[in-house]
Structure 1
Amino acid sequence: MEQMLLEQEKFIRLGFFFGVFALVALWELAAPRRRLTVPKAGRWGANLGIVVFNTVLLRLLFPMAAVGLALAGEEKGWGLVNILEIPTWLAAFISVAVMDFAIYLQHVMVHAVPVLWRLHRMHHADLDYDVTTGARFHPIEIVLSMLIKLAVVMVLGPPAVAVMIFEVLLNATAMFNHGNIRLPEGIDRVLRWFVVTPDMHRVHHSVHAPLANSNFGFNLPWWDHLFGTYFAQPPEGHEEMELGLDHFRDPKQVNGFIGMLKLPFARHIGEYAINRRW
């Protein structure tokens, strides 16, 4: 069973990725939240090119990945969850919540440490906001993120199935909450108590630094409420809010494949990194 899970994991993840991507992309066509400002073909080509590059890079550097490490942990009894004698369903629930909290802390960290912000700002520099933005991360940040994830798996010792569920949920919700999609206000108000919605996360992509340093959650919204980083709505409204970073407005620089890879090395760091404003 465990070997089958390991063998099928990449196909399960790819299936959910393409399924959710297609659903959100069609939703964006049917009910867009905002008018796009940059030609879609060029942006999508560059953003999806980064996704393919990062996927190949991770497979080359980490062939076992997080699910494989979790299987090894179960076999050898590594980690806190494996020490505790609790039902598998409870271990899985706790593990998914703890791993999501770790992602929240990681997200705060890449905003707080200037050298890490240099990497993360590639994600924020997108001049528009849609399903492809959710997977647009610099390759160096992706590698660091995987190292952090593997460290969490080693310490926590989650069931392998919980790791797979978490990976699928994280990818799916990242595409959903970056979608340029319109939700009825009442549904959004209720839904954002259980999952990060597009309107909630779009605030985080505001050009204004205080808003960009709020709403750090990717999947579960509870951590933002608990730690006081929740901001409900942009003052200017979602249709009028300006996205991206104030010092990076050239589409060729921020929405081109090579330009995106060069962004961490641009001299100006701006006032977005939290520590720059303390």
Structure 2
Amino acid sequence: MNEIISYFSTIPSSHRSLILVGGITVFWLIENTFPLFQMHYQKWQHAGINIFFTITTIIVNFILAFILIKTADWTTKNHFGILQWVPEIPMWLYTLTGLLLLDLIGAYLAHFVQHKTKFLWRFHLIHHTDTWIDTTSANRHHPGESIIRFLFTTLGVLIVGSPMWMVFLYQSLSVIASQFNHANISLPNKLDTFLSYFIVSPNMHKVHHHYVLPYTDSNYGNIFSVWDRLFGTFTTLPKEELIYGVDTHMLPEENNKLKNLLKIPFQKSRSAKKTKNQ
């Protein structure tokens, strides 16, 4: 445990970049070998759009990183936050508790609020317009959403009182988890179901990308699946019934053109439909 803390306390930016690029590369190779769906699309063109949004997310996080660092330093120096107030516990439990709470606020809550708030949904919508979900889809976030998610992460650090090494660990796990559960990979159903009791598995998250409500408004988790199960937002759907995208933007010229994707938050909003049998 001490080795992990030491590493993430001083993790170089190059290593964090390697985690991002390495994850995409590994899951890209796996999904080409063991695909969940045989999707007929221009994979490199699709990846180009999503990598553009990945780069903008990196830029946003880099520019605002000092806020996160200052927040983490302040919480530890002033003994503020949940982790600072709990009695002394084993380091592994301290770390797991911190990661769970950061995932709750920085991922689950941020995701839930974006779906339930019309203004924030305008930015998150770009992520859902993807009709070919693969590992590159994990970072398909409008720059505006990247700022929103950053603010929730900062709020999580403040409330949890997590040290910076834990923040770096959480962000690294978050990147890998998102690439994993978006990847177009086929796992045995029993294995996927087993994993979904602990972490967000690929089949579990794919339900969230089904093109109509109420499925779009379910399975908000990123790393841990416990929050969806605890708050009643966990849903299943046979993978054979999945249709990716969002029903308000199913035309290719709307969901597969970078220029339009950047404009979507500022266009007139559209009302989503709910399946009649739900």
Q: Could you tell me the TM-score, scaled by structure 2's length?
A: 0.89
Select which of 10, 15, 30 maps to 1:12. 15
Structure 1 unmatched runs, 5+: 274-278
Query: For residues 226 and 9 of structure 2, what CA distance do their matches in structure 1 show?
Result: 31
Does structure 1 residue 112 correspond to structure 2 residue 113?
A: no
Distance change in 2, residues 1:82/1:9 (3 Å): farther
- Are the aligned partners of 2:130 and 2:244 in contact in 1 as well (CA < 8 Å)? yes
Q: How does 1:207-222 map to 2 (within 5 A)?
A: 207-222=211-226
Query: For residues 16 and 68 of structure 1, what CA distance do their matches in structure 2 show?
Result: 24
Structure 2 unmatched runs, 5+: none
Does structure 1 residue 44 correspond to structure 2 residue 47?
A: yes
**Structure 1 counterpart of 2:65, one-letter code:** P
The equivalent of 1:249 in structure 2 is 250
- Are the aligned partners of 2:8 and 2:166 in contact in 1 as well (CA < 8 Å)? no
**Structure 1 counterpart of 2:35, one-letter code:** P
Select which of 11, 27, 31 maps to 2:30. 27
The equivalent of 1:129 in structure 2 is 133
Select which of 133, 155, 161 maps to 1:151. 155
Does structure 1 residue 187 correspond to structure 2 residue 188?
A: no
Moved >6 Å (runs of 4+): 1-4
The equivalent of 1:55 in structure 2 is 58
Query: For residues 185 and 4 of structure 1, what CA distance do their matches in structure 2 show?
Result: 35
Percent identical across equivalent pairs? 28
Query: For residues 53 and 133 of structure 2, what CA distance do their matches in structure 1 show?
Result: 16
Query: For residues 89 and 240 of structure 1, what CA distance do their matches in structure 2 show?
Result: 40
Query: For residues 34 and 108 of structure 2, what CA distance do their matches in structure 1 show?
Result: 29
The equivalent of 1:270 in structure 2 is 271
Distance change in 2, residues 1:185/1:248 (3 Å): same
- Are the aligned partners of 2:73 and 2:163 in contact in 1 as well (CA < 8 Å)? yes
* Deviation, structure 1 residue 210: 0.8
* Deviation, structure 1 residue 269: 2.3
Partner of 2:11, secondary structure, is helix
Partner of 1:259, secondary structure, is helix
* Deviation, structure 1 residue 67: 4.9
Query: For residues 249 and 97 of structure 2, what CA distance do their matches in structure 1 show?
Result: 40
* Deviation, structure 1 residue 179: 0.4
CA RMSD of aligned residues (A): 2.3
- Are the aligned partners of 2:248 and 2:272 in contact in 1 as well (CA < 8 Å)? no
**Structure 1 counterpart of 2:140, one-letter code:** R
* Deviation, structure 1 residue 6: 5.4
Please identify, of 153-162 and 219-228, the stretch whose mean Cα deviation from structure 2 is larger: 153-162
Please identify, of 64-73 and 140-149, the stretch whose mean Cα deviation from structure 2 is larger: 64-73
**Structure 1 counterpart of 2:174, one-letter code:** L
Distance change in 2, residues 1:239/1:41 (3 Å): farther
Distance change in 2, residues 1:9/1:65 (3 Å): farther
**Structure 1 counterpart of 2:25, one-letter code:** A
Distance change in 2, residues 1:8/1:72 (3 Å): farther
Query: For residues 91 and 174 of structure 1, what CA distance do their matches in structure 2 show?
Result: 23
Query: For residues 268 and 83 of structure 1, what CA distance do their matches in structure 2 show?
Result: 44
Query: For residues 147 and 136 of structure 1, what CA distance do their matches in structure 2 show?
Result: 18
